[in-house]
């Protein structure tokens, strides 16, 4: 699932192929950017903030992209092309002086802005545990602004903490030992934020640990509850439950929980956004 750790790992992978390279040809296949040209600009950095990727170029230019659920980047070597069946999904092409080509498929919210004006796109986001400017105290403060908000809805709100997606939110609720719909004000928010930051960093930075929440990478044992509906809880054996998302409601995504290990309010208490 594309979450903050996913985008951080993507940025490091793109560094290996693009960092320091100069664009010799660009093709931005979205109407508002169709006339923009990045040729002659050097790739300086791939920065991330939550689920947002910022590709910074020489000349004070940043390309912003968002993966959402289905976006991806691919890099092909000299003389190589993406399969023809994928060409209709391409939104971005960067041909580099190395001969390699970077392809952006199904990318969302593509934008070009001055690097000095990145706040116009990401300034609304909360602190990100994977950034050097991570501010745990500010994350705690933002999560506490509405104590009655369900834990999962609070953590999914990228303006409070950036980078936690549905997988991590569900797993953190389990690890906290409370129902996903427990009011955020009734849990130890400092401990929750510390646990979230540790988990996201471990997933992003430790080889083999990507989105493994249980400590076991064996198939079917890598998550406590996420994706495990109708299967026994790995801790107590109770059947894990799942409730579907509320349509067009980012605060109420598909949710998994163990009713024994996670006592508290049920999905009937969900607050529509």
Q: Which residues are catalytic?
A: 2-3, 51, 253
- How far, in Å, CA of 41 to CA of 33, rounded? 16
Alpha carbon distance 84, 69 (integer Å): 22
Q: Cβ-count burial of 182 within 10 angstroms (0-12 exposed, 13-18 middle, 19+ buried)? A: buried
| DSSP helix/strand/coil, 103 | strand
Burial class (CB in 10 A: 0-12, 13-18, 19+), 148: exposed
Helix H or strand E encompassing 26: strand 23-28
- The residue assigned the tokens 């100069």 is 22
- Alpha carbon of 240 to those of 160, 226, 237, 252: distances in Å? 28, 9, 8, 18
| CA pair distance 173, 192, nearest whole angstrom | 9
């Amino acid at each position: 699932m594309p979450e903050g750790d996913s985008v951080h790992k993507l940025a490091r992978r793109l560094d290996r192929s693009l960092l320091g390279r100069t664009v010799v040809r660009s093709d931005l296949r979205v109407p508002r950017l169709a006339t923009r040209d990045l040729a002659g600009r050097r790739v300086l950095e791939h920065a991330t903030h939550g689920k947002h990727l910022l590709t910074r170029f020489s000349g004070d230019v940043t390309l912003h992209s968002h993966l959402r659920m289905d976006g991806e980047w691919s890099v092909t070597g000299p003389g190589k092309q993406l399969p023809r069946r994928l060409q209709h999904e391409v939104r971005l092409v960067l041909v580099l002086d190395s001969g390699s080509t970077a392809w952006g498929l199904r990318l969302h919210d593509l934008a070009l802005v001055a690097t000095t004006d990145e706040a116009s796109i990401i300034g609304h986001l909360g602190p990100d545990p994977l950034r050097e400017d991570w501010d745990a105290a500010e994350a705690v403060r933002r999560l506490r602004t509405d104590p009655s908000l369900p834990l999962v809805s609070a953590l999914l709100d990228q303006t409070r903490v950036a980078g936690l997606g549905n997988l991590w939110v569900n797993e953190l609720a389990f690890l906290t030992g409370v129902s996903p719909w427990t009011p955020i004000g009734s849990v130890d928010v400092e401990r929750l934020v510390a646990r979230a930051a540790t988990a996201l960093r471990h997933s992003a930075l430790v080889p083999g640990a990507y989105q493994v929440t249980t400590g076991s990478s064996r198939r079917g044992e890598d998550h406590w509850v996420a994706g495990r509906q109708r299967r026994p809880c790995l801790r107590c054996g109770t059947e894990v439950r799942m409730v579907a998302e509320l349509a067009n409601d980012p605060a109420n995504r598909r949710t998994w929980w163990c009713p024994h290990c996670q006592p508290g309010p049920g999905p009937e208490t969900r607050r529509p956004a």
